[in-house]
Amino acid sequence: MSIPNNIKPTRIALITLVLCLIASAMLGIMIVLIGDFGERQIKILGTVTALAGFSLISLPSLFNLERQQYQLVAKPGIFAGLIFFLLILIIIWGSGDFGNEIMGKSTFSAGVVGFGLNHILLLFIVKPRAKALQLIQKFTSVTICFVACILIGTIWVEEMPDPLFRILITLVILDVLGTISLPILSRITFNR
C-alpha cells in the first residue's frame, strides 16, 4: 500500500512541529505584550511544547514506517512516544492527583523508551557499507539499550551507586561518539 506524497506521516509530523513552534512563539509574544501569564496559558504552552516534542521524537519511527523498514522497532517507537505524550498531557491538564510518584516514573520510563527506540531508528537511517561502520552502528544501538535500562532501573529503584553512575556516563559518552561519528564516517568512502 502506497502513501500519497502529500500525506506522508513524516510530512505531517514536520508540519505539526512547525505549527507548534509558531503557536509557542505567538503565545510567548502575547504573554510579553499583554503581561498575563496564568495557569491556562502555562498549560497551553506545555501542551504545544509536548506536541512539538512528540512530533520531533517520532520522526525516525515515521520515516521507517513510511519506508516499511525496521517495523518491529518503529511501531513500538511510535507507541512509546505516544504514551509519553499522553502521560505528559495527563500531568499538564489533570488535577493534582496526577502528579504522584508512579505517574512521574511511568512518564519518565515511557519517555526513555520512546527516545531510545527512535534514537536507534535514527542510527539505522544511515546505511554504512563498511563492516567496521556496521559494527559501530550495532554497538551504538546496544549501548543505547543499556543506557535506557540503567535510567529506567534507576528511576524505579531511586538509587544509583557510584560505580553504576560511572558506567552510565561511560556508556553515554560512547553513545554520543557513535551517534555523531557514524553519519560522518559513512559519508567518507570506505570499501574495507
- Cβ-defined contacts of 40-49 (< 8 Å, 24+): 43/92, 43/93, 46/88, 46/92, 47/89, 47/92, 47/93, 48/20, 48/23, 48/24, 49/20, 49/24
Do residues 13 and 74 both lie within one domain? yes
Q: Same domain for 116 and 144?
A: no
Residue 46 structural domain: 1-125
State whether 114 and 174 are in the same domain. Answer: no
Task: Decide: pTM greater than 0.85.
Answer: no
Q: How confident is the model at residue 1 (pLDDT cuts 50, 70, 90)?
A: very low
- Average pLDDT over the chain, rounded to an integer: 85
pLDDT at 67: 85
Q: What is the pLDDT of residues 11-38, one digit of tens each?
A: 887 788 788 778 777 877 777 677 667 7
Q: 4 falls in which pLDDT band (50, 70, 90)?
A: low
